[in-house]
Amino acid sequence: MKILVLGEHHDGKVKDSTLATLGAAAALGGEVDLLLPDSAAPAAADDAKSIAGVSKVLVAADSALDHELAETVAPLLARLMEGYDVLLASSTTTGRNIAPRVAALLDVMQISDIISVEGPDTFTRPIYAGNAIATVRSNDAKKVITVRGTAFTKAERGAGSATVEQVEAGVTNDRSSFVSMEASESERPELTSAKIIVSGGRALGSSDTFHQLIDPLADKLGAAVGASRAAVDAGYAPNDYQVGQTGKIVAPELYIAIGISGAIQHLAGMKDSKVIVAINKDEEAPIFQVADVGLVGDLFKVVPELTEKL
Amino acid sequence: MKVLVAVKRVIDYNVKPRVKMDGTGVDLANVKMSMNPFDEIAVEEAIRLKEKGAATEIVTVSIGPAKAQETLRTSLAMGADRAILVQTDDEVEPLAVAKILAKIAEEEQPGLFLLGKQAIDDDASQVGQMLAALLGWGQGTFASKVEVDGSNANVTREVDGGLETVALKLPAIVTTDLRLNEPRYASLPNIMKAKSKPLATKSPADYGVDTAPRLQTLKVVEPSKRQAGIKVGSVDELVAKLKAIGAVA
């Protein structure tokens, strides 16, 4: 089996999400090549070639691929797939944007967001906001798959010795163009790869109290900050903090849910965390049904006290 | 400009789905069904474009059982002009849905095709992207802002790490994210009026699309349950507990 992995990179490094996707490739078995698109790809090639399990790093250093627009990356992948059996992409917004476009170009069904590999053509994936797990078998000759990063062991750096090969992009795109990117500033760990996450909900009441209470606790723990959809919709935290079915899926060692009731859509994003701690004044809140440790109390008193005592 | 909107009838988002004992799927008998929340946002956006004068006609499309008519009537009550039901009792996968929608797009020649970013039942998040590929159009997925200006649309997308804006040449595909808008409720008079708006019923065969599934669902099970946790009475106990399980130093 020959597997092509769509690599994502930033600042000369392959992203953690891609390392996890390479972990899924290892579970599938076979020869694994990693594609790095865009004009910054050569800078990440050194990092990529040291990753365990990668045979070849394909560098497509063409500015036409910059910003990973689906209209350019998908046709390149579709062309490269002539030589591969499986395409794996991460379930990031980049992977989810591009992979289905490739699948349609290849006339195959995509298997979205897999959480395990059960066989060469059989996978499990969550449906209904993680309330059910489906085992699916693909009858397509070529497979296009997106991978839930939190479900797989990340491939390690340092043990690999891949060869690096340049590939022609050979794409044109008159349908779309990049205009701008407004990045959220954060010095904290990235949400999807953080070991500890402190997450706040609507009960925090305002953007000011959200940051006054959540940020110091997160900083004390070296944690990333997350939020429920309610907190994001109310404007207490930016969109990309959102944990849930429609936001990010996380599975840290420790998840501290503060003032979050635990709606289905939120639980879908965090219930695979190793230890869940809930702080909520409503002892009937559904979050307590999944929490390992629960504390019923007023978060405005409890959180500062917790921050101080840690 | 005509706007097409795809809507799906799914389990209501407030209902906790129950997995069937025989492992064949999720029990949908006697369960409340509604329009997929992201599709409501897509319908709302189409209506706003019409209210701004950017859109002239809104056509909503659904693929599914006869009952999907209710979902289309809801879209008509919100403000869509007419609807197309592609009726089938088979489960239709995203690829086949995209193929049917592509045929409808070729017939209807819309300037913009709006879809939700994902359906909350299969959580696939594929149809919009696949449709864009089949039509060779640009795609603005996970949109939180759409600005149509003549023959172009600027779409702000919610991406990991922030917001990205892309310019799309029309016709184009846009899939909606939660923060694009707040969908309106249909008023009673509009619900009555929607009953007389045109709704055409078709079949997948009318569009020559083979809906045979490519993926076979072998089984559907409940996720493993978490073990019941404990409740602590004070912050000191919480800190002690966190230290005991090694979660914090």
ipTM of the complex: 0.96
pLDDT at residue A246 above 90?
Answer: no
Cα A141 versus chain centre, distance: 27
pTM for the predicted model, two decimal places: 0.95
Average pLDDT, chain A: 95
Nearest CB among B121, B142, B172 relative to A128 is that of B121
* Residue B18 DSSP SS3: coil
**3 state SS of A184:** coil
Contact between chains at A134 and B219 (C-beta distance less than 8 A):
yes
> In chain A, which residue's Cα lies nearest the Cα of B214?
A139
CA distance B48 to B41: 10
Chain A / chain B CB contacts < 8 angstroms: 254
**How far separated are the first and last CA of chain A, in Å rounded?**
50
Supply the DSSP string of B138-181, one letter for each residue: EEEEEEEEEEEETTEEEEEEEETTEEEEEEEESSEEEEE-GGG-
pLDDT of residue A280: 97
- For residue A108, the chain B residues in CB contact (below 8 A) are 95, 214
Separation in Å, CA A189 to CA A197, A223, A225, B134: 9, 7, 8, 39
The residue with tokens 């600042």 is A11
What residues 70-109 of chain A have any CB closer than 8 A to a CB of chain B?
Answer: 70-71, 74, 92-94, 96-105, 107-109
Q: Give which of B140, B101, B1, B127 is closest to B58, Cα–Cα.
A: B1
Q: What are phi and psi of A300, to 5 degrees?
A: -70, -20
A224 at interface of B, judged by CB pairs closer than 8 A: no
CA distances from residue A268 to A57, A182, A308, B41, B175 in whole angstroms, order as listed: 34, 27, 31, 21, 21
pLDDT confidence band for A187 (50 / 70 / 90): confident
Rounded percentage of chain A residues whose pLDDT exceeds 90: 93
Q: At what angle do helices B37-51 and B68-78 cross, to 10 degrees?
A: 30
Q: In chain B, positions 51-90, which contact chain A (CB-CB < 8 Å)?
A: none
Taking 70 as the pLDDT cut, the residues of chain B under it are: none
Query: Average pLDDT for residues A9-22, to the nearest whole number?
Result: 96
Q: Which of residues 164-183 of B touch A (CB under 8 A)?
A: 164-169, 172, 177-179
Q: Which residues contact A190 (CB under 8 A, 6 or more apart)?
A: A16, A224
pLDDT at position A76: 98
CA distance B211 to chain A (A): 12
- B158 forms beta bridges with B163
Sheet holding A116-119, edge to edge: A116-119, A122-127, A132-138, B215-221
Distance in angstroms (rounded) separating the CA atoms of residues B88 and B195: 22
Q: Which bin fits A231, alpha (ψ -120 to 50), beta or left (φ > 0)?
A: alpha
CA A275 to chain centroid, in Å, comes to: 20
Helix (H, G, I), strand (E, B) or coil at A305: helix
Which uninterrupted H or E stretch holds B83? Answer: strand B82-87
CA distance, residue B90 to nearest chain A CA (Å): 16
| Cβ–Cβ under 8 Å, residues A129 and A268 | yes
Q: How far is B44 from chain A (nearest CA, A)?
A: 17
Query: Using CA atoms, how far apart are residues B179 and B184, in angstroms rounded to an integer?
Result: 14
Secondary element (H or E) of residue A48: helix A41-49
Nearest Cα of chain B lies from the Cα of A34 at a distance, in angstroms, of 21
Taking the Cβ of residue B205 and every Cβ of chain A, the question of whether any pair is shorter than 8 Å is answered with: no
CA distance A31 to chain B (A): 24
The DSSP secondary-structure symbol of B31 reads -
Distance CA B30, CA B172 (A): 38
Tokens of A231: 């907190």
**Other CB atoms closer than 10 Å to residue A187's CB: what's the count?**
5
DSSP code of A60?
E
pLDDT value of position A185: 77
| Cα A204 from Cα A218, distance rounded (Å) | 15
CA B198 to chain centre: 22
> Peptide bond before B171: cis, by omega within 30 degrees of 0?
yes
- Residues B164-202: pLDDT tens digits? 999 999 999 999 999 999 999 999 999 999 999 999 999
Distance (Å, rounded) from C-alpha B150 to C-alpha B102? 23
**Is A309 an 8 Å CB contact of chain B?**
yes
Closest-CA distance of chain A to residue B195, Å: 31
CA dihedral B139, B145, B150, B151 (to 10 degrees): -10
- C-alpha distance from B169 to closest chain A C-alpha (Å): 5
A133–B214: do the CB atoms touch at under 8 Å?
no
Q: Tell how strand B57-64 and strand B2-6 pair up.
A: parallel
Contact A180 B164 (CB under 8 A): yes
Each residue's pLDDT tens digit, A106-164: 999 999 999 999 999 999 999 999 999 999 999 999 999 999 999 999 999 988 999 99
Strands (E), chain A: 2-6, 9-10, 13-14, 31-37, 56-60, 86-90, 110-114, 116-119, 122-127, 132-138, 143-147, 163-166, 176-183, 196-200, 224-227, 254-258, 275-280, 293-296
pLDDT at position B227 is: 81
Candidates B127, B165, B238: best to mutate against A (most CBs of A within 10 A) is B238
Query: Which tens digit of pLDDT belongs to each residue from A48-96?
Result: 999 999 999 999 999 999 999 999 999 999 999 999 999 999 999 999 9
Q: Is B214 on the interface with A (CB under 8 A)?
A: yes
Interchain proximity A109–B239, CB inside 8 Å: no
Could you read off the pLDDT of A259-279 as tens digits, one per residue? 999 998 999 999 999 999 999
Distance separating alpha carbons of residues A136 and B119, to the nearest angstrom: 18
What is the Cα–Cα distance from A45 to A65, expressed in whole angstroms? 16
Residue of A10, A38, A71, A147 to mutate when probing chain B, most B C-beta within 10 A:
A71
Under an 8 A CB cutoff, do B136 and A175 touch? yes
CA dist A126 and A114 (Å) reads 7
SS3 of residue A287 by DSSP:
helix
Query: Which one of A8, A73, A109, A289 would you mutate to disrupt binding with B, by most B Cβ within 10 Å of its Cβ?
Result: A109
Question: What distance in Å separates the CA atoms of residue B74 and residue B69, rounded to the nearest whole number?
Answer: 9
Which amino acid is residue B216, in one-letter code? Q
pLDDT in tens, B9-40: 999 998 999 999 999 999 999 999 999 999 99
